[in-house]
Amino acid sequence: MSSTSPAERGALMFALADCNNFYVSCERVFNPMLCGRPVVVLSNNDGCVIARSEESKALGIAMGTPLFRCRDVIGRHGVAVFSSNYPLYGDMSSRVMNTLGAMAPEQERYSIDEAFFDLSGFRRFGLREHAALMRRTVLKHTGIPVSIGIAHTKTLAKLAAKAAKKDPSCGGVLMLEGADRVRRALASTHLEDVWGIGRQWSLKLALQGIQTAADFAGMPPALVRRLLGVTGAKVQAELQGHRCLPLELVRPMKQTICTSRSFGRNVFSVEELQEAVASFASRAASKLRREGSTASLLTVFISTSPFAASALRREASRTVSLPRAADDAMTLVTAASRVLEAIYQGGHPYRKAGVLLGAIAPKNPPGESFLLFGDEGEGRAEALQQVMEQVNLRYGNGSIRLAAEDSRAWEPLCRHISPRYTTSWEEILRVPSAPQAPPAPAHR
């Protein structure tokens, strides 16, 4: 673990920009009638609540609540319900991140709605003032509200961003600088809310009488290391102001790539499972190629619902080694189909399937020797894959695909999905010439 001197810590300032209720905010950008109204967004297959507006939180709708358990509250309070619209959320995320990146180039995209920045070079403009300008610019250009926390370490910056969301007097920006201010912030933060701690560790530390971030920061380091290992020790050091987590400007290569879905209904036939698995393998291949990598291991898994009758319940998976490291859809789809045939057993109502790629390595590692006489079949597959990608890039994703892929039989439920306003010409927002109220989402 590295630590920094007070002088070094003074020169380094991290910021975390966190979009407020991101999925809900994306829906509100294109339907302002939702502002001030309780809104929830559901997981795949409209199963559980995965995003809530502040109004929904105030109604007591908890994160992860199954839809059927909160239907009464939704109906009674007129809560607007939406299915997950990932094409919209992904595109809005890119717009937010690009806007932020133009104002603070040292950027680490941490998730779809969060990014870390090194703001050390902006001291002459005033860190708080520059962060406020970033916040206003994002809201003006995208309509998405963000909160920004600033501190000497990434863990403290994340804590500050969360506090900025909760305290309206911060104006969306909170800077933790100075021992007294950091101490007060730690004392008012429950341990479970600290980045890197989580519920299991907080329960473990509660047995030691540790309840707040301040309690944890003051623990003997040897005890922290014994209870939580090196990771816990790093979290403690970051809360104390010692920088242990650098800004990751280049994202590390993925170790695995997984594509899976829950089905909108029970699937019994191997043919329909083949279509699903082929689609997942093809999407995994696309992700792999975007990474510039190849995979040598492929896993296929299928399962029924955990709530199915015990006699019908089944889970199965198998991992195979590919004959050669591959990144093309045809090779991966063929391998996945063969694995599925080996693990499939009829008579079960399958509700989920997926493909996991492992042993991922760079496609063209540095120092690799050039092969004068390459594999002719491999060359044709690569050329065909490139043509398919160019066609889909020009005419839209899915314009050309392998015949084995088909999602019609198993596609997930999306009863409440909003239009893909920014990624589909057919669903672009239409503004009537005469004033007209937008259609209100149905009460679900």
Do 134 and 219 form a contact (C-beta atoms < 8 A)?
Answer: no
Largest CA distance in the chain: 71
Percentage of the chain with pLDDT > 90?
A: 65
pLDDT digits (tens, 9 = 90+) for 30-52: 999 999 999 999 998 888 999 99
Confidence of residue 2 (pLDDT cuts 50, 70, 90): very low
Q: Which residues lie across from 261 on neighbouring strands?
A: 353
Give the Cα separation of 216 and 195 in Å (integer).
13
What are 372-428's pLDDT values in tens digits?
555 666 677 778 888 888 888 787 777 888 888 776 666 777 889 999 999 888 898
Q: Which long-range contacts (CB under 8 A, 24 or more apart) does 140-143 make?
A: 141/95, 141/99, 142/29, 142/92, 142/95, 142/96, 142/99, 143/25, 143/28, 143/29
- Residue percentage of the chain with pLDDT more than 70: 91
| Reported confidence tier of residue 7, pLDDT bands at 50, 70, 90 | very low
How much is the mean pLDDT over the chain? 88
Give pLDDT tens digits for 59-88.
Answer: 999 999 999 999 999 999 999 999 999 989
Taking the C-alpha atoms of residue 273 and residue 163, their distance in angstroms, rounded to an integer, is 46
- pLDDT at residue number 29: 96
Secondary structure (DSSP) of 330-367: HHHHHHHHHHHHHH--SS--EEEEEEEEES-EESS-TT
Give yes or no for residue 271 having a pLDDT over 70: yes
Mean pLDDT of 196-207: 91
337: nearest Cα among 324, 351, 355: 355
**The whole model's pTM is what?**
0.79
Q: Measured between alpha carbons, how far apart are the two ends of the chain, in Å?
A: 51
Q: Residue 161: its pLDDT value, please?
A: 96
Tens of pLDDT, residues 276-324: 999 999 999 989 998 889 999 999 999 998 888 888 999 999 999 998 8
pLDDT band at 441 (very low <50, low <70, confident <90, very high): low
pLDDT at 6 over 60: no
In angstroms, what CA-CA distances link 359 with 44, 81, 293, 297, 354? Answer: 28, 40, 10, 6, 17
Name residue 59's amino acid.
L
What does residue 57 show for φ and ψ, rounded to 5 degrees? Answer: -60, -40
DSSP-assigned letter for residue 10: H
- For residue 111, report the phi and psi dihedrals to the nearest 5 degrees: -155, -175
- Give, for 237, the enclosing helix (H) or strand (E): helix 221-239
d(CA 340, CA 302): 8
DSSP-derived pairing of the beta strands 173-175 and 146-151 = parallel
What was the pLDDT predicted at 373? 52
